[in-house]
A and B are shown apart, each in its own frame.
Chain A
Amino acid sequence: MTALMRYLLKKSALLLPVFLGVSIMAFALGVMSPGDPVDQMLNPNGNESYSQEEYEEAAARMGLDKPICVQYANWLNQLLHGDLGRSFFTNKSIMEQLSRRIPISARLAALSMIFTILFGVGFGVWMAVYKDRMPDHILSLCSTTALSVPGFWIAIILIYWFAERWKLLPTSGITSPAGYLLPSITLALPSIGVCARLTRSSILDEIGRQYVTVALSKGLSRRQVVMCHAFANALIPVVTYLGTHMAGILGGASVVETVFAIPGVGSYAILAVQSRDYYVVQAYVLFSGAVYVVVNVLTDLFYMAVDPRIRRGGMFK
C-alpha cells in the first residue's frame, strides 16, 4: 500500500505543475489578448464616451485594478467554483456551453477510440505475428499511409462518397447516431495507423525477451506466444498512446468537428477564434489541459490495475 501511495503522490507531484502551468498559459492568453475588457464593457458599441473615474470604477469592479498575481488568484478561485466567465459576444455562460458540448465530443472520442482499439491493436498484432511476411508488408504500408492522410481532406472525401453519392450516411450534424460514424472514422484513421505500428514494434520488443524464448522452447507456436504472453506486456505503450489520443480528440478535434458541423468542444474553439472571443479560447485551453491531466491519472490507474509490477511499486526501485 505504501508503494502505491508513493506512486500516486509522485504522479500527482508531476501533474499538478502541469495543470498550474496550463492555467497560467490560459490566463496569460486572456491578459495578452488585444483589446481592453474594461473599455469593451463600458463601450460595447464603440460610440459611447465615459470619464476616467467611470473607467477606474469599472476596472475596480472587475478586479482589473489589482496586481496581475492577485487577478490570477481570483480567476483561479472563480474557476474552482465552476465559473469560466462569459463569452464576449454572445454573453452566454461558457461553462454552460461547454457542458452541453463536452458529451458530444466525448461520444465522438469514445467511438473513434473503439475503432482505434479494434483495428489499430488488431492490425498491430497481426503484423507482429506475420513479421516480414506478406500481411506485415501490406498492413505496414497501409498504416503508414493512414497516419499520413490529412483529416480534413479525408473527411471531405468520405462525405462526398458515403453521404452524397451513395447516401448511406448523413453528411453532417448529429441528428441521428449515424452522424457520429463518419467523423469518428476520420478521427480514428491516423490513430489506427500509429496504434498498429506501435503495437507491432512493442510486441516485437517483447518477443526478444527471455520469457518468450522459454515459451517458444516449450513448444508453443509463435501465434500462441504473441497472443497469450507478449501481448499483455506489450500493451503498456499502446495504452499510453490511446490515452493521449483520447485527450486529443476530447479537446482538439476542431478540424473534423468543423468539417462535419458537429457542435463539440473543438468547433466551439474555432468559432471563438474566428470571432476573437478570448475568454472562450482561454476556457478551451484550460479544458484541454484538465482533460490531459485526468486522462493521465486514468491511464496510471489502469496500469496499476493490470500490471502487478507497477502495483507493487517495483518500477520505482
Chain B
Amino acid sequence: MRNRSGKTKLALFMLTAILFSSILAPVIAPYDPLASDLGRALEGPSMEHLLGTDNIGRDLLSRTLYGGRQSILLAVAATALSLMFGFLLGLFAGYFGGGTDLVITILSNIFQGLPGLTLMIAVAGLLGQGVKSMIIAIVLNSWAGFSRIVRGEVMKLKEESFVDGLKTVGAGHLRILFLHLAPNLLGMVCVVFATRVAGNVITVASMSFLGLGLSPPAPDWGIMISDARQYVRQRPLLILAPGLCMVFLSLSINMAADGLRDWLDTREDNLNGL
C-alpha cells in the first residue's frame, strides 16, 4: 500500500513538473521556439543551447518546453467535450432504459466499431487537417467509451434503495439524475477521463506526425519528431527529448489514474465494512 501511494506521489510530481514547464514556457524558455539560425543547425548540447539545436538551428530546449502546450490543451479540451456528451447520454441510457437505452447503445456501438485512428483519419480527410477536425474526431471517438461506462454504473446505482427513497419523497428524474446519481460517478469518471486524456495526447501527436494534425512550424512534440526523423543519426536527442516528454506525461497521468482508482476502491471497501 505504501509503495502504491509512493508511486502516485511520484506520478503527480512528474505531472505537475511537465504541466508547469509547459504553462511557463514563455517565461522559462531561453529562446524563441520559432527563431532559426541556419548557421548553427544540428549543434550538440552546449552552454548556449542546453539540448542543442535542430535542423534549421532552432533551440531544442525551447521547442521541447513549448511542444506540449497545444497538444495537451487540445487533448484536455476535446476529451472534456466528449466526456460531457458521453456522460449525459450514458446517464440517460442507464437511468431510463428501454428505447432510449437501445438507441444510445446502438449508437455507441457504431462509434466504438471503428478503431481509434480510422475515424480521426476519415474526419481529417473530410474537413482537412487542423484543430477543428481533430476536436471533432476526438469527440466522435471518445464519447462512446464514457457513455458505456457511465451507463453501466448508473444501471447498478439506480437499484440502490436511496433512489427508491428519493422517488418516494417525490424527487423528479432530473433531480435524482444530476443531484444524486451524477456525484456518485465523479471518482470513476475522473479515472476514465485521465486515462483518456493520456491516450488522446498521443493520438494528437500521432496525427501531427502524419501531417494530419497541427501544422509546422508550430513547436509541437509530434511535429518535432516528424521533422527530426532524417537527423536521428546525427542528433538522437532531437527525437529523444520530445518523445520522452510524451512518455513521461502519459505515464504520469496513467500512474496517477491508477492511484486514484486504488484510492476509490479502498474507500469503497471501508464504506462497505461499516
Contacts and interface: CB of A to CB of B under 8 A. Distances in A.
Interface of A: 14, 17-19, 21-22, 25, 29, 32-34, 132, 137, 141, 144-145, 147-154, 156-157, 160, 164, 244, 247-248, 251-252, 254-255, 258, 266, 269-270, 272-274, 276, 278, 281, 284-285, 288-289, 292-293
B126 A255 contact: no
A281 B3 CA distance: 48
Contacts of B243: 150, 153-154, 157
Contacts of B220: none
Interface in B210-230: 210-212, 222, 225, 229
B225 A18 contact: no
A86 to B, nearest CB: 17
A254 B117 CA distance: 8
B126 A32 contact: yes
B266 interface: no
A151 B247 contact: no
B258 A21 contact: no
Interface of B: 3, 7, 106-107, 109-110, 113-119, 121-122, 124-126, 198, 202, 205-206, 209-212, 222, 225, 229, 232-233, 236, 239-240, 243, 246-247, 250-251, 254-255, 258
B125 A273 contact: yes
Contacts of A284: 118, 121-122
B126 A148 contact: no
A288 B122 CA distance: 11
Contact of B212 (A17, A34, A147, A273): A273
B212 A21 contact: no
Contacts of A273: 121-122, 124-125, 212
A281 B116 contact: no
B125 A148 contact: no
A251 B239 contact: no
A194 to B, nearest CB: 10
B114 A285 contact: yes
Instruction: Say what secondary structure dominates the interface of chain A.
Output: helix
B109 A17 contact: yes
A160 B231 CA distance: 10
Contact of B198 (A148, A248, A269): A148
Given A254-B117, A284-B118, A160 B232 contact: yes
Contact of A270 (B205, B210, B250): B210
Given A148-B251, A255-B117, 5 more contacts: A17-B109, A18-B109, A137-B3, A156-B229, A270-B212
A17 B110 contact: yes
Nearest to A159: B232
B210 A160 contact: no
B246 A150 contact: yes
A269 B121 contact: yes
Nearest to A291: B115
A205 to B, nearest CB: 12
Nearest to A15: B109
Contact of B210 (A157, A247, A258): A258
Given A33-B126, A144-B255, A160 B233 contact: yes
A148 B240 CA distance: 15
